[in-house]
Structure 1
């Protein structure tokens, strides 16, 4: 690739607002980086879609976004899209692509009980990729999984100012702890970028003996490494949030996005 111009943005892509949990730590490391944050509201929720649908949809949509915004690097800030479509995206696009995968390796290093919970979307937790990560990094551990589409809805609602129903949190955790051996879980991998938006609620319900872990800081470090030595603007400019048009789900208020450095909303 040619050396990118200083104003070439980093493109973050997710089905919704969950990728903001990756954008946050990235901005902490690269405070003047231009940002385009893309949310596929027309396709949300990804966890309910088939693998074939996402393998076709994600590369096509990212291709449109790359043509429009000319990023230096794209981040698939979505576990479901990454576990299903990352290979297809890398084959289709000629720029660095950073994916998001469940943080099973660090979880296996943290657990003392040897029992790890993986909380994600239904599509993510069923992926062979998760089998491979478990076999590679947690072979001598018990890895229990549960898919909770309710948490995606709750996280989106929380950013819009809606209260989080404690029963939603309780059902998601029960999906792990009520499995055989689930009472011994001491580390839970938040394998959906939406779920750290509910960190406080999940931690309060899980209790102090359970550690919640996600991969956002590691992804941010990877982005910083891949862009090391590149030129950036001297001062930060407000980022752009772009949403695919959905009749059922309008973009959130700009005030919900300004804490993440977003200053303008567009739709495509």
Structure 2
């Protein structure tokens, strides 16, 4: 395998950057191809059938074009719906993203956890299973927010999220019966860690946030252990499936964050 074989990160938008960052902390010279399916954005409001058909087809094309050493589906919604099909179709390691309910349960003192994701993610049976296996003694409250996904995309395009809009979305958790006792929120959408400081500013004191990014980074490092990398950090590729005004604004921001090479699939 060439030293320059990249890690390919895939998401509907820019949320997967919250997985890229901890990965590059562990593997600073890893070449990165970051793919945002802007033509299909957002995934969280789509049906399971749409996502199950779209994601494997796109990843097949991307693997053929970029020849990565490993694929990361840096999207909770796509992972909970399409991961088994993608793994069956691709002849290389595929790492998925799942809600960090296990570490949240270990952190919680009140035994009330909030799971904040997209509408498609929070309704998945996979989340039921995680809650039963790792947080059986906790009250696990869920809220699906399409608005926070849009706010995260807008933030990277240069529009800071209004504090009131962020607070309104968190009220979807805190306003539920028992929500006043939430002490840990699982950011079950990779977009949401990008807004963590904004959410922390409007959440009740003492509420902590957890996401799967660091754990995914450790898994990537484990799966690539012993492989060779370039001697120096490499400029990353930013790929959109559609490029319009917002994508160009995002690309301008990310050009200064290690992803200067813009392409369209």
TM-score with structure 2 setting the length: 0.97
Q: CA deviation at 1:254?
A: 3.2
Q: 1:249 to 1:261 in 2, by over 3 A?
A: closer
Q: Which one of 81, 96, 99 corresponds to residue 99 of structure 1?
A: 96
Map of 2:135 onto structure 1: 138
CA distance in structure 2 between the partners assigned to 1:16 and 1:231 by the alignment:
29
Give the match's secondary structure for 1:260: coil
113, 116, 124: which one aligns with 1:116: 113
Residue 185 in 1 paired to residue 182 in 2?
A: yes
Listed as ranges, the gaps of 5+ residues in structure 2 are: none
| Structure 2 counterpart SS, 1:13 | strand
Match of 1:221 in 2: 218
Aligned partner of 2:152 in structure 1 is 155
| Secondary structure at 1:41 match in 2 | coil
Work out the CA distance in 2 between the residues paired with 1:81 and 1:13. 9
Q: Secondary structure at the match of 2:142?
A: strand
Contact 2:10–2:73 (CA<8 Å) still a contact in 1?
A: yes
Inter-partner Cα distance in structure 2 for 1:247 and 1:253:
10
2: distance between equivalents of 1:63 and 1:35? Answer: 17
Whole-angstrom distance in 2 between the partners of 1:251 and 1:69 = 22
Please list the CA deviations of residues 199-237 of structure 1 after superposition, one character each: whole Å capped at 9, or x if unmatched: 111001113310111110110011001000001111112
Aligned pairs for 1:10-25 within 5 A: 10-25=7-22
Is the 1:116–1:141 contact (alpha carbons within 8 Å) kept by the matching residues of 2? yes
| SS of alignment partner, residue 231 of structure 1 | coil
2:35 aligned residue: 38
Give the aligned partner of residue 52 of structure 1.
49
Counterpart of 1:63 in structure 2 is: 60
Q: Is 2:157–2:247's contact at 8 Å kept on the other side of the alignment?
A: no
What do residues 161-184 of structure 1 show as CA deviations (whole Å, max 9, x unaligned)?
A: 102111221111110011111110
User: Could you say which residue in structure 2 is the equivalent of 1:81?
Assistant: 78
Query: SS of 1:27's equivalent?
Result: helix
1:141-197 CA-to-partner distances (Å, cap 9, x unmatched) read 100000010000000011111021112211111100111111100000000000011
1:170 aligned onto 2:173: no
Is it true that 1:264 corresponds to 2:265 in the alignment?
no
TM-score by length of 1: 0.96
Q: CA RMSD in A?
A: 1.2
Alpha carbons of structure 1 residues 234 and 247: separation in structure 2 relative to 1, 3 Å:
closer
How many angstroms does 1:258 deviate by? 3.1
Structure 1 segments (4+ residues) deviating >4 Å: 246-249
Partners of 1:73 and 1:96 within 8 A in 2: yes
Gap runs ≥5 in structure 1: none
How many residues of Structure 1 are paired with residues of Structure 2 in the alignment? 265
1:89 alignment partner, SS class:
helix
Deviation at 1:259, TM superposition (A): 4.4
